[in-house]
Amino acid sequence: MDYRDRHVVVTGGTGALGSAVVAALVAAGAVCHVPYLHVAEAEHFPLRDHAQVKLLAGIDLTDETAVARLYDGVPGLWASIHLAGGFAMAAVAKTTKADLMKQIDLNLVTAFLSCRAAVNAMTRTGTGGRIVNVAARPALEWRTGSGMAAYAASKAAVAALTVALAEEVVKAGILVNAVAPSIMDTPANRAAMPQADYAAWPKVEEVAATILFLASPDNKVTHGGVVPVYGRS
């Protein structure tokens, strides 16, 4: 896949999956614009000094003005990949409205505002583009959201946003898709579940490969997909 001279926004790009996505993109020739909110995110980001990576500090992805400004500063946007989000495990009886709204902000609002800004930027270029969101397995298999209903509901909303937006913008040459990972093999997940079968979990590099195709010029026909990336789990 050839991303030479193509500009790509990657929200959540400093995280475990984000680092794998950005690494794959720069290897394919892309220029990656990676917003972050907290200084520690940039300090631990392995590609912070890469010539093709533009780190953008202090971006609150729930702030529509900040998000619009971010995308206005990207020249000739080709793709926008939305990995930013958050997870919380709690029974409904223990989940407050504030807990629910936090999941909606972190997962749905960040994706929605980034999608909106990306569509506006791509429409200005007139050359189309690609958008990839991240849902989750409970967004497709609702029963697996037991014990994490607020998270599952927010990710299901991301899946619905993806499919609806895909139909809205396809005639402009903008193809919108999402991936839906199961638990991924990351250091944090291994620490949280030390007895799990890590071999069955999808690797971040494997999920990144699917994202890379969906966001690439090689993807000429796929839109409105929410692609399961479960590995063998």
Q: Provide mean pLDDT across the span 82-102.
A: 97
Task: Answer whether residue 95 shows pLDDT above 90.
Answer: yes
Query: pLDDT, tens digit, for every residue of 54-68?
Result: 999 999 999 999 999
**Mean pLDDT value across the chain:** 96
Q: Is 34 helix (H, G, I), strand (E, B) or coil?
A: strand
Architecture of domain 7-229: 3-Layer(aba) Sandwich (3.40)
- For 167-195, what is the mean pLDDT? 94
Q: Give the three-class secondary structure for 80.
A: strand
pLDDT of residue 195: 87
Rounded CA separation 131/216 (Å): 10
Q: What are phi and psi of 208, to 5 degrees?
A: -60, -40
Where do the structural domains in the chain lie, given as residue ranges? 7-229
For the cut 90, the answer to whether the pLDDT of residue 233 exceeds it is no
Is the Cα dihedral 28, 60, 133, 19 positive or negative?
A: positive
